[in-house]
Structure 1
Amino acid sequence: MHWLGISLGDDSRLSVPGPIDVRVVGTAQLEAGAGAAVVAVPQRDFRAGHPGRVPEKLAVHLPKGAAWVRSEAFNQEVTGGRYPGEFLVDVGTDRVYFDTVDPSVPASTGP
């Protein structure tokens, strides 16, 4: 896994960042076959896409010739609507690329 936390006051985001907004962007290696399993769910309706605004420091960690796909339904599933985020999958390398703002984990409902 390779990731960066970037203060949004330092980039060219179109909206005005809050005092603690942080962009968390990176790539992670999934287990073999996991990319195909994620993309295979028909309700997610994955379509071709590509990572945007990839930081230079991170670009060297993206697979060459990746066939990225993205899904609005999958983005919503992962974020639960709690924060903005985009998640792209490359089935050929079982990689996921993520680009989020202030990601959070839902409050636990268990004991």
Structure 2
Amino acid sequence: LDAALSLAEKFQPLPVEADAADFVEKALAARQPGGAFVLYHSIMWQYLPRATKDAIAATLEQAGREATAVAPIARLRMEPRDPTKKWAVLSLTLWPGGETRRLANCDYHGRWIEWIG
């Protein structure tokens, strides 16, 4: 936690007010050549309108087709998968390839994590 707080102090995050789909599109367009791009989200997907979800997915798929091993794109998310379950699922989609892996079941508030191997 101390290391994370130190990084946040050194590289202060700038809140951005934007439509989620527009934000993802602009962030992907501004990525650095030869660098990895990671989109992370947690417990927010369920609140987006269907059109926004579809736009983000399409933008990621398009960018993923251009991803390389030197400049990969990842989507890491902790989201509810089944509303009847009392946990979220941590999943990773990685391009090139576009394969999605389920990594863990997680408590919504970080009290526990069950890694899936």
* Shared fold, TM over 0.5: no
TM-score scaled by structure 2?
A: 0.25
TM-score scaled by structure 1?
A: 0.26
Task: Choose between structure 1 and 2 for higher RCO, CA contacts under 8 A separated by at least 6 residues.
Answer: 1
